[in-house]
Amino acid sequence: MKIATWNVNSLNVRLPQVIDWLANRQPDVLVLQELKLDQDKFPRAAFELAGFQAAWYGQKTYNGVAILSRAPLENVVCGIPGFDDEQKRVIAATVNGVRVVCVYCVNGEAVGSEKFAYKERWFAALTDYLRATLAEYGQVALLGDFNIAPTDLDVYDPEAWREKIHCSSAERQWFQNLLNLGLTDSLRHLHPDGAHYTWWDYRMNMFRRKLGLRIDHILVSAPLLARLQQVHVDTEPRGWERPSDHAPVVGEFA
């Protein structure tokens, strides 16, 4: 089973790229973030033509998440139950016995800002949600754009980013709180060393200079970890014309 995540930074702009990527990489499941589309504007027909069912939670201009799957999507849930939030950031569904939870986590803007306080509340709600999800489902994959680089290894210049947004001690603790539930960072489980960046600023030729952050992740529960075979960042799409600033992360499971 091949499961992938990709922040496409506008599905309207990137739809041809996503369709090509699906055809060439042949995942079983692809979750998307930053659709930037109203619910009724989602290109369902294009994905069905490509052989994928879809569930989505859209929002114009900002946010928006989706799950694409070759197999049926069961028990779809949008948002974090019990958390009042106008922003469309979470969608979950069961695919072949695996509970797939797609997240577009809050950016937070700057440490100490109002948006950072919202990010803290949001991660607390997400952690509670995943605690309940793990209690209900054995095989769980939590994946998406977390907007957190968990360690200095995940940052091209740790000193420049020290205690800045994405890299603050508080945010890293929120990420650790998810791991403490019994989830494992799949990429670091297989690749404990080296840079595996997933995001590069559009400015200053950062991608070609290999100056990025690893903020897109696939976290898995213990039963799914036992099936893990490989994880990698597919950097090729980041080099395409008019790319997203993120690259897909792909996990393969027996």
CATH number at residue 133: 3.60.10.10
Residue 28, pLDDT score: 98
With a cut of 70, which residues of the chain have pLDDT below it? none
Residue 155, pLDDT score: 98
Q: What is the pLDDT of residues 170-203, one digit of tens each?
A: 999 999 999 999 999 999 999 999 999 999 999 9
Q: What is the pLDDT of residues 33-46, one digit of tens each?
A: 999 999 999 999 99
Number of domain units in the chain: 1
Cα 86 to Cα 76: distance, rounded to the nearest angstrom: 18
Cα 54 to Cα 47: distance, rounded to the nearest angstrom: 7
Q: Which two tokens stand for residue 170?
A: 């508080």
Are 93 and 77 a contacting pair, CB within 8 Å? yes
For the chain, the residue count is 254
Residue 80, pLDDT score: 98
Cα 139 to Cα 224: distance, rounded to the nearest angstrom: 5
Cα 230 to Cα 46: distance, rounded to the nearest angstrom: 29
Parent domain of 25:
2-253
Q: Which residues are catalytic?
A: 104, 145
Residue 126, pLDDT score: 98
Q: What is the dihedral of CA 46, 49, 55, 59, to 10 degrees?
A: 0
Cα 7 to Cα 12: distance, rounded to the nearest angstrom: 13
Cα 200 to Cα 245: distance, rounded to the nearest angstrom: 6
Are 137 and 94 a contacting pair, CB within 8 Å? yes
pTM value is 0.98
Half-sphere exposure of 3 (CA within 13 A, CB side): 32
Between β-strands 74-78 and 90-95, what pairing exists: parallel, antiparallel or unpaired? antiparallel
Residue 53, pLDDT score: 98
